Structure 1
Amino acid sequence: MASNSSRMRTIFRTKTSKALDKIEDPRDLLDDSYDQQVKLLQQVRQALAEVATAKKRIDLQGQELGQRYQRLGAQAKEALDQGREDLARAALERRSLIERQVAQLQSQYAGMQKQTSQLEERERRLSEQIAAFRIEKETIKATYTASEAQVRANEAVAGIGATIDDVGTSLDRARDRVAQMQARAEATDELLNSGALRDLTAPPDADIERQLAAMSAQAEIDRQIRELKGETPDAASGRPRSGGDDAGEWLSIGQGPNPT
């Protein structure tokens, strides 16, 4: 009963780990982060457009008040020329009211001008940040994909299961995941090259064939040593092993002793 319970826990942990790996794929996390930054940039641009629209309305109102201001000034002068001081005074009173209104519009326009400059600077910096993040995001995604493929290939050859650590939800965690994947790929390469892991793609009885080949090579070396010491008929007679001319002697290199 205890054994079955332990097996169930192991299966559950394995499935949970695979599900988390699928959910916390750093490539998806990076794409989500990039999309959030793009949405923020769109909001800044929308705010910039709204401020620009409001500033334009104030500008139009200011132009209209400016025209009335000039017209009232001309009317006040014309009224005085015609001896109507009362009309001139009324025109100047209205002109004074317009001055106060224009002063308020000027203050609002200056504030919106400052706000526009701030939003434009924020939009510029955010655009540069997003462009840099996009390049780094694609680089990390490509590196992760290549490393993941390499690990899967190495694990398939070695016959070992793949285990991947949890992935974070930020750019730093994605970088750590890529580093872990690259280190694992290098480790499996080293294990395969050193022979610590058996290559399941090798033909059967390959180890025996390697040993026989090594013994054959050692026997050939022993024969050549005896020949150099004069322990063979060819060395004693001082004749070359091959009966051909000097130009063809290279053809016999590595072919063993001449049977004749």
Structure 2
Amino acid sequence: MFKFFKRVSTLVRSELNASLDKAEDPVKMLDQFMRDMAEDIREVETGVAKQMANEKMLKRKKDDVLTLIEKRQKQAEQAIEAGNDDMARRALEDKHEHEQQAEALTASWEQANADTEISRDKLAEMKKEYQEMKLKKDTLQARAESAKTRTKMNRTMSAIGSDESKQGFERMEEKVMQYEAEAETSEDLRTSRTLEDEFEELNSDKKIDDELAALKRKMGRE
């Protein structure tokens, strides 16, 4: 199982590199890889649990047979004390058969126990590697988000400082200056004197001169 997990881990890394090369979203890909690895761990945990259950069953059977062997030994001794050799013989025969069973069960249990210990160690190693990769995934995701932000900022700054943007500002500035010039021209037109205004002013000045001359004559100051 552990070798399979190792192959999966290698495949994850290779697919991640491929996804980056294809410009796929590494954040989403990393999340998917972690989900796949977590599922693999759950499957291995199920297998280890079955191994542990089998090991416990074999140990219980072995212990039961050993208990029975001890019982038959005592029964044989009891039969001899009672002077019943036939019963003692049958107890010893049954004891001998169970000793053979105990030998086979002991070997099976020892193998199952060794396999269970190895599987538990490998599972612990898998979980450790998973946590390490999870930490690395978090780091990679943070780096990816930071890179995206920097790229967006750089593109925005490049757009602001581009010739097209500058030309756009220059066009707007020219329009504003044109509006200002039009406003000044309209004010000049509004305050300019027409020919009628000049004649009216001339007639007004003549009236003042006539009135001034009449006043001087009246006062004898001509």
Contact 1:62 1:102 in 2 (8 A): yes
Question: What is the CA–CA distance in structure 2 between the aligned matches of 1:200 and 1:35, rounded to whole Å?
Answer: 46
Contact 2:41 2:126 in 1 (8 A): yes
Question: What is the CA–CA distance in structure 1 between the aligned matches of 2:81 and 2:37, rounded to whole Å?
Answer: 66
Q: May I ask how many residue pairs the two structures share in their alignment? A: 151
- What is the aligned partner in structure 2 of residue 204 from structure 1? 169
Question: What is the CA–CA distance in structure 2 between the aligned matches of 1:28 and 1:61, rounded to whole Å?
Answer: 50
Cα pair distance change 1:198/1:146, threshold 3 Å = farther
State the shift of 1:199 in Å. 7.8
User: Which secondary structure does the structure 1 equivalent of 2:169 belong to?
Assistant: coil
- What is the aligned partner in structure 2 of residue 143 from structure 1? 143
User: Which secondary structure does the structure 1 equivalent of 2:107 belong to?
Assistant: helix
Tell me which amino acid in the other structure corresponds to 1:204: F
Question: What is the CA–CA distance in structure 1 between the aligned matches of 2:156 and 2:69, rounded to whole Å?
Answer: 86
User: Which secondary structure does the structure 1 equivalent of 2:165 belong to?
Assistant: coil
User: Which secondary structure does the structure 2 equivalent of 1:204 belong to?
Assistant: helix
- What is the aligned partner in structure 1 of residue 218 from structure 2? none
User: Which secondary structure does the structure 2 equivalent of 1:54 belong to?
Assistant: helix
Bigger-Rg structure (1/2): 2
Question: What is the CA–CA distance in structure 1 between the aligned matches of 2:167 and 2:149, rounded to whole Å?
Answer: 21
State the shift of 1:198 in Å. 3.8
State the shift of 1:152 in Å. 2.2
- What is the aligned partner in structure 1 of residue 98 from structure 2? 98
Contact 2:55 2:116 in 1 (8 A): no
Question: What is the CA–CA distance in structure 2 between the aligned matches of 1:201 and 1:38, rounded to whole Å?
Answer: 53
Question: What is the CA–CA distance in structure 1 between the aligned matches of 2:103 and 2:97, rounded to whole Å?
Answer: 10
Which sections of structure 2, spanning at least 5 residues, go unmatched? Answer: 1-21, 174-222
Tell me which amino acid in the other structure corresponds to 1:141: Q
Contact 1:76 1:92 in 2 (8 A): yes
TM-score normalized by the length of structure 2: 0.61
- What is the aligned partner in structure 2 of residue 43 from structure 1? 43
**Is 2:73 aligned against 1:108?**
no
State the shift of 1:108 in Å. 1.0
Deviations 1:101-141 (Å, cap 9, x if unpaired)? 11111111111111111112111211111111111111111
- What is the aligned partner in structure 2 of residue 257 from structure 1? none
Tell me which amino acid in the other structure corresponds to 2:41: L
Deviations 1:149-170 (Å, cap 9, x if unpaired)? 22123223434xxxxxxxxxxx
State the shift of 1:202 in Å. 9.4
Cα pair distance change 1:202/1:127, threshold 3 Å = farther
Cα pair distance change 1:78/1:153, threshold 3 Å = same
Tell me which amino acid in the other structure corresponds to 2:31: D
State the shift of 1:63 in Å. 2.0
Identity of aligned residues (%): 18
Question: What is the CA–CA distance in structure 2 between the aligned matches of 1:40 and 1:59, rounded to whole Å?
Answer: 29
Question: What is the CA–CA distance in structure 2 between the aligned matches of 1:70 and 1:143, rounded to whole Å?
Answer: 68
Contact 1:48 1:120 in 2 (8 A): yes
Question: What is the CA–CA distance in structure 2 between the aligned matches of 1:99 and 1:82, rounded to whole Å?
Answer: 24
Cα pair distance change 1:79/1:201, threshold 3 Å = farther
